[in-house]
Amino acid sequence: MSREERLVAYVDGELEAADRAAFEREMSADPALAAEVALQQRLGARIAEAYAPVLDEPVPAGLVAAASVANDRGRPRFGIAQWAAMAACLVVGVLAGRAAMPQPGPLVVRDGALVARGGLAQALTTQLAAESGPVKLGVSFRSGDGRYCRSFQSAADRLAGVACREADRWVARTTTAWTPSASPDYRTAGSDAPPEVLAAVDAMIAGEPLDAAAERAARAKAWRP
């Protein structure tokens, strides 16, 4: 199964438990893949909402009966030996997956959202835009829904984006691949931000960006609205 096929199967909930876990580990190590999954999930939710009235209609009893008969024909029957063999294969697969597990990236998929972790989460929580560090913080602002949001660029992860504070975590609203500028004039995240990040900030921001004093005040109250 190709990566695109696995992506579609994951979004549709058609992957087996072991395959789903392996795909989620892959997403944790690949922000671009995780962003694509999140996009497909949002599109799926919109489609489901649009067709909800049709999907909620009761299925005709005759069709249900016909489907039940078809599904019962030739249905395999597993004995203890077959179930034991399947369980053994599952254990081997889990152990092999753990051995090959990639190092987690700066974002992890939790409850269908891309959540910042590790150094990225630490920088978003504690670092001011004027301060230097492995992660460069650009614009801090309030979004239209009242949340605090911050643009960021991580050279080590070659990742840029915008994350917003939701409860006690930072959820990525936009992510894109990014390569640091080689120019010695590079100073802040804002000066080298990808167009996708600038466009996201422009679309989300409500009012003016936070100045240094407002950033400190927001940090002091843990970025809670």
CA distance 114 to 128: 22
Q: In percent, how much of the chain has pLDDT > 70?
A: 67
Higher pLDDT, 50 or 198: 198
Sheet with 135-142, edge to edge strand ranges: 107-110, 113-116, 169-177, 159-166, 148-154, 135-142
User: What average pLDDT does the segment 202-223 reach?
Assistant: 95
Please, is 43 exposed, middle or buried when counting C-beta atoms within 10 Å of its C-beta (0-12, 13-18, 19+)?
exposed
Q: Would you state the pLDDT for residue 87? A: 47
Query: Structure pTM?
Result: 0.56
Are 93 and 14 within 8 A, CB to CB? Answer: no
Q: Would you state the pLDDT for residue 36? A: 79
Higher pLDDT, 147 or 183: 147
CA distance 88 to 81: 11
Q: What are phi and psi of 165, to 5 degrees?
A: -80, 125
